[in-house]
């Protein structure tokens, strides 16, 4: 056999290429089908994600609007959960998609990272975060994902508040929204205006300024009748100290010279509708007295601009926040003289008294609780703690002359915004006066300056009687069983700046009566219970105390406090509902 004639025969199918194009077409078709399936599902997921985010936004807004300062944290949490679920079901979705509802405190501080502005547990609940989760099945994508059965991946969208978790059956979409309540009010605590009599107004202002103050009746009426807008005042102050670009919070955290504050108040008063030049001139008089002083004012202890704190100072009134000119001046002087011992003589219209000397110290206001505050339900304001010593000389000379030291300590009163309503605008404020202690005793300057402890004074030397000796006296009375009152402010009250009081009882008169009735007398340091001269001492004491009531009340009003009573104002309400935040 010839090998050359018998070559190795190869199978025909090795060179056969029929059908290759068909296989390629099938594979290509499968790829296109898979891509189309994925496109359909991706479009579906994007649509459902947008719907879910919209539902989260609406639920958060509704829940944030439901927050109330009249409720506890637990009650607010329960209400927010119900409102969020109701919002979801009202739009045709099951309440089960609500995975979490969290109440917290939102701080609109640009210097804070976005993830730290919403804090829990809340100090004052003003915001709600709502999280929703919903399963969305594949429509056509199961064809492709069948090969990945048993796996799951989670993707967070970098520019939204949604996440997507992929499973073999579909995806779980999650959305989150945070909303803050924007129903704001401005509240103020203090006392009704003092009366320009007895020399008390000029004595208190002069003592705080360290000079002689002689406000006329015209000056006083101008100050007492003028309202200064806090936003206008802030702009005037920023201009005066030379800072064109500054936020309200930055301004209130700056130590500002007292004289600059007073001049700025005078500037702001000139823009008040209907105000005369008398008001600004009176404030300038006081500012001139402070011109040589190095005293500074920490405005953060007086004003809290709340949600507007991060805004630039531009003078635009964002909410009604007007304060009485005389109150503003006195409050600034108190801050500048905090913990300082101030003395003043009262020598006019004493109602039969021979002389009177006033001494006072003003304690620090509680940190974070100013005199005027703007914000949502739960914001607090406090009066200052006041210690006041009035030493009066009275009697029936030359037979008997008494020197009576009356020491009064009033703890800080407080008020908090309980609720704000709209249509019509109204507000409820919960207020409680400060505890009061009154002594007829020997209280030293050191006792008055030391706010870390309450004085426990010894008997005071009241008089010296010939053939009897030194007469001493000690008495104490207090008001401690005070309770909070809910004060209701109507739209008319707010517009007219009408104050509301926790009580109309004249506690000061009853305190003085109680003290004189329970007076313990001493002769040369020895307690006595009888003696023909005791009735004479007691009668003269009662006569001396009668005009003291008015003097003390007026001095306390000038310092912004009342005895057993707190006066509160709601100066403005703004109803914007709620807004979404990052």
**Per-residue pLDDT at 466 exceeds 90:** no
Give the chain's mean pLDDT.
81
**Per-residue pLDDT at 151 exceeds 50:** no
Q: Dump strand ranges (E) for 197-258.
A: 227-229, 255-257
What is the spatial distance between Cα 569 and Cα 445, in angstroms, rounded to a whole number? 34
Coil vs helix vs strand at 351: coil
The domains of the chain are located at 22-181, 347-576
What is the spatial distance between Cα 386 and Cα 434, in angstroms, rounded to a whole number? 10
Write out pLDDT tens, residues 193-230: 777 766 788 888 888 888 888 888 899 888 888 999 99
Write out pLDDT tens, residues 42-55: 666 677 788 888 99
Coil vs helix vs strand at 313: coil
Q: Dump strand ranges (E) for 372-514.
A: 372-375, 380-382, 386-396, 400-410, 414-421, 426-432, 436-440, 460-465, 469-479, 485-489, 500-501
How confident is the model at residue 154, as a pLDDT? 47
Q: Calculate the dihedral angle through the C-alpha atoms of 85, 88, 92, 97, rounding to the nearest 10 degrees.
A: -80
Task: Report the DSSP pairing between strands 303-304 and 372-375.
Answer: parallel
Write out pLDDT tens, residues 301-355: 899 998 888 888 986 777 888 899 999 999 999 888 876 788 887 764 556 666 7
What is the spatial distance between Cα 414 and Cα 580, in angstroms, rounded to a whole number? 31
How confident is the model at residue 152, as a pLDDT? 46
What confidence tier does 513 reach under pLDDT thresholds 50, 70, 90? confident
Residues in the chain: 582
Write out pLDDT tens, residues 531-581: 666 666 677 777 767 777 777 888 888 888 888 888 899 999 988 778 888
CB 570 within 8 A of CB 427: yes
What is the spatial distance between Cα 385 and Cα 368, in angstroms, rounded to a whole number? 15
């Amino acid at each position: 056999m010839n090998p050359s004639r018998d070559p190795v025969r190869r199978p025909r199918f090795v060179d056969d290429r029929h059908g290759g194009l068909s296989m390629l077409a099938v594979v290509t078709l499968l790829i296109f089908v898979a891509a189309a399936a994925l496109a359909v599902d991706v479009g579906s997921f994007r649509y459902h994600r947008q719907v879910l985010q919209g539902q989260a936004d609406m639920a958060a807004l509704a829940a944030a609007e439901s927050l109330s300062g009249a409720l506890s944290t637990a009650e607010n949490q329960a209400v927010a959960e119900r409102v969020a679920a109701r919002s979801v079901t009202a739009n045709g979705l099951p309440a089960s998609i609500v995975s979490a509802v969290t109440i917290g405190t939102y701080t609109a501080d640009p210097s804070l990272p976005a993830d730290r502005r919403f804090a829990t547990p809340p100090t004052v609940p003003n915001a709600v975060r709502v999280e929703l989760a919903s399963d969305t099945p594949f429509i056509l994508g199961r064809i492709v994902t069948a090969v990945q059965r048993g796996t799951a991946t989670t993707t967070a969208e970098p520019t939204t508040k949604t996440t997507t978790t992929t499973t073999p059956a579909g995806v779980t979409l999650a959305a989150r929204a945070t909303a803050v309540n924007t129903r704001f009010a401005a509240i103020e605590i203090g006392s009704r205006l003092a009366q320009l009599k007895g020399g008390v107004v000029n004595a208190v202002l002069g003592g705080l300024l360290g000079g002689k103050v002689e406000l006329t009746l015209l000056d006083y009426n101008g100050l007492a009748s003028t309202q200064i807008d806090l936003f206008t005042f802030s702009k005037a102050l920023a201009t005066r100290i030379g800072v064109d670009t500054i936020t309200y919070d930055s301004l209130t955290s700056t130590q500002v010279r007292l004289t600059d504050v007073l001049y700025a108040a005078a500037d702001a008063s000139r823009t008040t509708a209907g105000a005369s030049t008398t008001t600004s001139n009176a404030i300038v008089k006081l500012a001139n007295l402070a011109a040589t002083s190095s005293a500074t004012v920490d405005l953060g202890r007086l004003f809290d601009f709340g949600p507007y704190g991060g805004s630039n100072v531009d003078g635009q009134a964002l909410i009604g926040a007007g304060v009485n000119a005389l109150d503003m001046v006195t409050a600034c002087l108190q801050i500048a003289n905090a913990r300082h011992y101030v003395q003043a003589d009262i020598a006019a219209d004493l109602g039969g008294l021979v002389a009177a000397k006033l001494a006072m110290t003003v304690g620090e206001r509680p940190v974070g609780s100013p005199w005027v505050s703007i914000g949502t339900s739960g914001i607090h304001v406090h009066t200052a703690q006041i210690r006041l010593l009035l030493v009066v000389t009275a009697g029936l000379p030359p037979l008997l002359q008494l020197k009576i030291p009356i020491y009064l300590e009033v703890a800080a009163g407080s008020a908090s915004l309980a609720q704000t309503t709209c249509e019509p605008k109204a507000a409820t404020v919960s207020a409680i006066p400060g505890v009061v202690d009154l002594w007829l005793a020997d209280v030293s300057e050191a006792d008055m300056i030391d706010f870390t402890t309450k004085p426990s004074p010894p008997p005071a030397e009241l008089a010296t009687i010939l053939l009897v000796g030194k007469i001493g006296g000690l008495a104490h009375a207090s008001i401690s069983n005070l309770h909070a009152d809910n004060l209701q402010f109507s739209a008319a009250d707010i517009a007219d700046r009408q104050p509301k009081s926790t009580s109309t009882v004249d506690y000061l008169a009853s305190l003085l009566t109680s003290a004189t009735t329970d007076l313990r007398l001493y002769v040369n340091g020895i307690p006595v219970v009888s003696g023909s001269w005791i009735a004479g001492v007691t009668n003269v004491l009662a006569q001396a105390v009668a005009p003291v009531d008015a003097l003390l009340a007026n001095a306390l009003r000038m310092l912004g406090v009342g005895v057993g009573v707190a006066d509160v104002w709601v100066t403005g309400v703004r109803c914007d509902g709620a807004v979404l935040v990052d």
